[in-house]
Amino acid sequence: MCDPNQLTITISGGTTTEPWHKKHDPEHTQANLPYKATVTDQNGQPQANVSVTITTDVTSDSGGHVHTNGRPKGKLVDQTGATVSTKDGKMTIPGTTDGSGVFAFTFGAEEASGTHTLTATCVGCKDPAKSTVKAEISGLMLLDENPLSYELRGSLDPHPGNHYFSQAAMVQIINLAHSYRVDKAFNKQLMKINDSSLIKGGTFDVLLDWTSESNVHGGHRLGIVVDINNYKTARNTLFEEFAFSSDIKANWHGKGTAPHYHLLLLNEDH
């Protein structure tokens, strides 16, 4: 007879996914990772019909978000499509192991990047099992200060890192800023570079609502766009032509309290 206090539970599955893109993935499937929670006895034999609970939580301040107001914890779904529940501020889902000792489920990232922890427990298990999941856009690089070539702008709170770019976009903005600085048509001004992406990409929620749905920064997910603050009152066709000469599209965002140019550094906006 198996000792019910000597069961072991483990979690296996992926460790990294991209933040959910609500516009491109309305059914919330592309950002999901499959997982298995497996229960075995002291001899390593799988145990069926064991009650399992999966919990997900997210590390505070991860993904470049230094605010906690109702932060989503991730989406847990079992094979029946059961809805997640909230317990102690975390997301949980119950289940039962099958004949192979496995309870299968998925973890789905939210729009905000961040580091999540999955925890699996079971009735009779000695210890919980944990797995770390990172929702992020990989490979983003920080644009360093260079007061001779450009000026970095933007608030440090509650998103302290707002100048992250993909490698290709980084080359574009540095070259463009240098050309702008030496171009007599712009009186040798410094380009005022504001928001691009957060340290791990994903939604840049300037409204602090964890979503891009009502977000004026909806395109700032992948480190391939940036806002320029040199023009605060009206469009400047000369600047638009200047950007276009470097194969960069400059979109004028003139509404609201902070008019600016939104540059598509790779001619894409996600």
What pTM, to 2 d.p., does this model score? Answer: 0.91
User: pLDDT value at position 83?
Assistant: 67
pLDDT per residue as tens digits for the range 4-18: 568 999 999 999 999
pLDDT per residue as tens digits for the range 77-134: 988 887 678 887 889 999 999 999 999 999 999 999 999 999 999 999 999 999 999 9
Amino acid present at 140? L
DSSP string, the chain: ---TTSBEEEEEE-SEEPPP-TTT-TTS-TTEEEEEEEEE-TTS-B-SS-EEEEEEEE-TTGGG----TT----EEEETT-PPPEEETTEEEEEEE--TTSEEEEEEE--SB-EEEEEEEEETTBSS-EEEEEEE--TT-EEPPP-TTTEEE----SS-----EE-HHHHHHHHHHHHHHHH-GGGTTPPEEE---B-TT-B---TTSSS-STT-TTTTTTSS-EEEE-S-SSS--HHHHHHHHTTT-EEEEE-SSSS-EEEEETTS---
User: pLDDT value at position 266?
Assistant: 96
Strand pairing report for 191-193 and 150-152: parallel
Token pair for residue 200? 């791990």
Per-residue pLDDT of the chain (270 residues; tens, 9 = 90+): 455 568 999 999 999 999 999 888 888 888 899 999 999 999 999 999 999 999 999 999 999 999 988 899 999 998 888 767 888 788 999 999 999 999 999 999 999 999 999 999 999 999 999 999 999 999 999 999 999 999 999 877 899 999 999 999 999 999 999 999 999 999 989 999 999 999 999 999 988 989 876 566 778 999 999 999 999 889 999 999 999 999 999 999 988 778 999 999 998 877
